[in-house]
Amino acid sequence: MHLMKTVLLLTLAAVRCQATALYSNTTTDQLDSAFYSTLGVTEIGDQIQLFSAGMLTSLDAQFFNVGADATFDAVLRFYNVGGPVGTQIGGPFTAANIFIASGTSATATFSNLGNLLVPQDVVATFSVQNVSAGGDLGLNFFDPPTLGNSSASFFIVYDGTAFSQASTNLDHDNLYMEISGAPVSAAPEPSPAPILAGVLIVMACWKTGLRIRQRR
């Protein structure tokens, strides 16, 4: 009986355990970048639709530096989708001490997501801290995503008091991101036929047992 329960639970969980790409927008560089300093914001992000809800293991984001050579810490946050941003999901997560040369891009890898469970539609934002003197950082726009979806007409910013949608009016407002994890599908509803069969088998066993006991 205990074994049957375990098998049933495993079936209902429907979690595929191997890590795979859940969102990918790293192919087509639009060669535009949005900067914290010029927009006057502390977080820049995007609302995205993953290939599937999932338990996340890692995320890559791409920064650009228009200032002097610098080091910085990148901070990643996930939020539920709201108006435009809802409650935070876990985190924040930090990728520390990233070096970025003047006039170049650098990819920050957050490999410490610890199987964070996120829904299929989610907001991911990035902030920077401990930026060394002269660094002036922004995020790169890529479009379209090759896995998952995201609207090209807006991205998300946080000015320290409120989140809002921003647009470049260029119709490619999607940030470079690669997200990996284990997909999680919704638990399937048990179909009535096996349940009925199970009930019949249990009843048959019970009846057979009763007859044997009665013969004794």
Partner 1 sequence: MSKTVSWMAGIGLMFGASLTGQTGCKPDDGVCLPSVKSQCVSDCSQRCGDVGECIFGCEIGQFTSVDQCTFDCNGLGEPCLQSCLVTVDCINLGCNVVTDKLNISRGAIVYNRSTKVWQQTIVVTNSGCTDLTGLAYFVDSLSSGWGLTNGDGTTTGGLVYKKLGSLQSQSVTTITLLFSRTGATVFDYTPRVVSGLY
CA distance 67 to 47: 28
Cβ-based nearer residue to partner 1, 32 or 53: 32
CA distance 153 to 32: 14
CA distance 176 to 140: 6
Which stretch in 1-9, 29-37, 80-88, 207-215 sits in contact with partner 1 by CB under 8 A? 29-37
Name the amino acid, one letter, at 22: L
Does position 37 bind partner 1 by CB under 8 A? yes
Beta strand 137-142 with 54-65 is antiparallel
Query: Minimum distance between the CB of residue 86 and partner 1, rounded to whole angstroms?
Result: 22
Cβ-based nearer residue to partner 1, 67 or 183: 67
Chain-centre distance for alpha carbon 171: 23
Does position 23 bind partner 1 by CB under 8 A? no
CA distance 84 to 206: 57
Does position 136 bind partner 1 by CB under 8 A? yes
CA angle 37, 39, 40 (to 5 degrees): 65
- Name the token pair of 157: 């910013």
Q: Considering only residues 19, 21, 53, 66, which one is a binding residue for partner 1 as defined by CB under 8 A?
A: 66
Query: Minimum distance between the CB of residue 164 and partner 1, rounded to whole angstroms?
Result: 11
Does position 166 bind partner 1 by CB under 8 A? yes
Which stretch in 12-20, 87-95, 133-141, 196-204 sits in contact with partner 1 by CB under 8 A? 133-141
Q: Considering only residues 51, 64, 126, 176, which one is a binding residue for partner 1 as defined by CB under 8 A?
A: 64
- Name the token pair of 62: 């791409």
Which residue is it, tokens 């228009």? 66
Query: Minimum distance between the CB of residue 144 and partner 1, rounded to whole angstroms?
Result: 18
Site string for partner 1, 75-104 (x = CB under 8 A): ------------------------------
DSSP 102: T
- CB-count burial class (<10 Å; 0-12, 13-18, 19+) for 215: exposed
Q: Considering only residues 42, 115, 130, 168, which one is a binding residue for partner 1 as defined by CB under 8 A?
A: 168
Query: Minimum distance between the CB of residue 173 and partner 1, rounded to whole angstroms?
Result: 8
Would you tell me which residues interact with partner 1 (CB under 8 A)? 31-35, 37-40, 64, 66-67, 105, 136, 138, 140-141, 157, 166-170
